[in-house]
Structure 1
């Protein structure tokens, strides 16, 4: 006996066609919403200004914010009609090339990095289809002849002999302090008697002075790593213990009350002393470089120098003082070869 199985009748061709058509429409509708983008047509400089306001204001130090604002002003000048939907690799490269025509390579690289931060966010937010900064070429004018950044030990000693170290606080004492400790200019300006720990022979750096504003005042250090305690020699400790004994504990040592200080003032004093000593003219920041360079040449480790300077990592120190490190490597190579020669 043949058993007959009961089943539904197959759907008609028209029914299948309707189902396929319905599914196709849903698929198209879904893919439309999935692929729909919010590519912006806003002017690029307007987007950048809004991005600075949204992500950078009240989040970074004023001096860093000013760098972003400077890039914004250059953007208005170089690309006032560039819209976001026109921003691709070619237009971005053309923008960099235009900036590079009047700036050195390192400056162009900084300009690029400040813009790239905003552009990457625009890509993530769906305002740009692709990242136009990929594989760009950083150009720039040939570097101009650089001023001397640091002195050797003999030159520094010649400079320090020019100082008139009286019983009163002066810029000459300021020069000595920066040369011996390697402080940043703003860090040295912010020092108070409370920052000297004479028992431990240490100097506490936990703030800087806002010398660029008219009102002045304390501000945070450059970064978290800049908050540090630095060892000072006994002679310097004794000298400053006497110099600041009449000052109140939290009174600035070098900044007169209610007066504004300019780094050009100290640099002019330095220039006069350098000229008198017959050595290359350096800036106050050059004394910081001098301090680090001498320590490295005296075989102090890169890690110790980085900590003393308040660098966030040793990479910064290595990049800044690569000329010294290469010189030391050459000396080490000579030592290695001499040692190996003794084995024969």
Structure 2
């Protein structure tokens, strides 16, 4: 008797329904609780004016930001894992997020009156510098996956030291910097939604390159034999991923581990083909950040727990588990050879 399995497209559709349901529930959490029925009444145009003000100006843009940022970080994480051929790669683990954070903090404390567009630009530059250093290390040293992760952690630690220096040097802005570094969607509105518009363009572009990604995953020699220029493609993919990471970090701060956890969950659910992996990773990333932000708002209202703290509590043990698994696999491979 054959075992029944769900079609991957059915799984993706179910996840999208779950994301929609969670978004509606999440709109109710906060200092003032709004029931799902009241939210639906507002959505169909029959809500109370006070609730309409809260939902439109604060909670709806916050939900949109959570979905876009979660999807962006997860998609970038899946791309980094493929480009670096490292299952431990993610924006925060390899130090790219910290690089973006350091550059953004420098702008916030040194140029507090600078236009808002400077923030994503600086975050992209910081992320790009760390990514270039890591890529040079990967291709020149032929490092193992666990070594690459450790190098990324070291680069992240250097960037974190720089962040702490600026916090000590400019104590007047320390509260704003700490909240931003914790990774929070607090006080985010429509201005930040507009800041994330590049992600709405770049994420579909990455998903549109899934056929090339599947070829690239076969190895450079096979990809070249099939007519694919592997190295330029890797740099393009890395560049687009870094832009997405920079924009996300500039908008909500340093939210960790979504780019690590979401692709791994997606890979277990729909497999390793990028045609299914990227959209599934994006949905799981959006779900994870929605859950983290909902918990942060709903556990101890009116006090909020930054979403980055909740994702770190979930993600840090998972990263240690993956690190241990990769070391075991590497040892088994060394014994067989």
- TM-score relative to the length of structure 1: 0.21
Relative CO higher for 1 or 2, CA cutoff 8 Å, sep ≥ 6? 2
More strand by share: 1
Q: Larger C-alpha radius of gyration, 1 or 2?
A: 1
- TM-score relative to the length of structure 2: 0.22
